[in-house]
Amino acid sequence: MNSSSAPGDAAKFRRLVWALACSVGVSFGAILYGTSVLITSGAAGAEFSLGLLSAGFSGSVLTGAAVAVPVGRYADRHGIRSIVALGGSLVCLGFLGFAASTAPWQVLCAWWLLIGPGSAMVLFEPAFVALQQWFGRERRNRAAGTLTVLTGLAGPIFIPATTYATDLLGWRITAALLGLSVLLTASLTVGWALRGAPAPPGAAAGATVDPSSPSRRVRDKGVPRGFIPLSIAAALTMAVLEAFNVHRIARFEASGFDPAVVGWWAAAVGLLSLPARFLLPVLANRFDAAKLYITLTVLIMPAVWLAVRGTATWEMHGHFIIFGLLFGAFIPLRAVIMSDWYSGARFGALMGLQAVAIALGRAAGPAVVGWLAETPVGYSGAVALLSALLVVTVLLVVTAMVRRG
């Protein structure tokens, strides 16, 4: 069953999308935001070094990327139900292993061997493959917006909840609870919503084409036109966004701001991002998604520029407001572009390949900024570099559009 024969009733649409969105949102909240609390000095950071915990998380990003292509290929042929089930189990076992760790090697094994591969199965990539298989273009874009809106709520929910649970129960029990929450939501999604999900179109000798966009074609073999520059652009975008996610509080603290105040602004970013997360994919039903991506990149540049110096209060406020209003739309728009350009039997495999590039960007961006911040270049030079990367991103997306013709 392809996207043209997707379920027509609204109830089934809501069940599939909302259940999957909740599963991805809880997984994202536990793996990213919950971990951001667990690695602090009041939690696991009191027993393990920050360097070790950071290596565990960063390594999990890379091991997740290592399985992204096989996961995508499996999803192309069999759907995502078993993928989500296995991923939820792996992430849960990883958090349980982390909670029981007493030695550094145990921490690394839990993150690298369990949470990393599991995250590739319960986060965005398989979900976007499923949306491409289930729905036609208009519903698919609306579903992508719904998915990322709920994920945007993960930060405001999981950061305070994990902080409270850590203070009340300790970090080890909290880590176990985070893992169990991922397993529970994944299991409910698999057993309830995905049980009646449309079957994937199945692998064909030649690539299939989404009837809603007949001019978009995927070549049988090799890398399709425009895919490489688009994937590099997505990797650079995520390098910039992830660098700010990790360093925004430290960056403005280095400029003399109270980190508690900056922390409140950082928490507000998740709420500010909610409208754009939904509206931009919906707008892609009327406007070219690649052009929207370019526009979004240009509009977020002032937020980066305001953080280059970042010494005035208005610069700090302006950065968080502009960044918050826009950054959440990049993930669903990227999925919309991929679905518009490369719908077909190889879509999951291509999303997996792109996930590898994005993972490298996510790992490199914060690392490079952290390194530069401790050199004479400082945070100002590092943020200026991020600004330059956004310019390169625009050029790469334009190049991808030209290559596709």
Task: Kindly state the average pLDDT of the residues 399-405.
Answer: 89
Q: In this predicted structure, what is the pLDDT of residue 228?
A: 93
Helix, strand, or coil here: 44?
helix
Closest by alpha carbon to 302, among 383, 398, 392, 378? 383
Alpha-carbon separation of residue 27 from 14, 58, 65 (angstroms): 19, 17, 16
Strand spans (E) along 310-363? none
Q: In this predicted structure, what is the pLDDT of residue 203?
A: 42
Tens of pLDDT, residues 284-305 = 888 899 999 999 999 999 999 9
Half-sphere exposure of 165 (CA within 13 A, CB side): 19
Q: Which of 86-90, 148-152, 240-244 has the lowest mean pLDDT?
A: 148-152
Mean pLDDT of the chain: 85
Q: Is the pTM of this model over 0.75?
A: yes
Tens of pLDDT, residues 186-211 = 999 998 888 877 777 654 434 444 44
Tens of pLDDT, residues 340-378 = 898 877 888 898 999 899 989 988 888 888 888 888 988
Band (134; pLDDT cuts 50, 70, 90): confident
Top pLDDT among 2 and 118 is at 118
Q: In this predicted structure, what is the pLDDT of residue 221?
A: 55
| Cβ-based neighbours of 287, under 8 Å, separated by 6 or more | none
C-beta separation of 63 from 117 below 8 A: yes
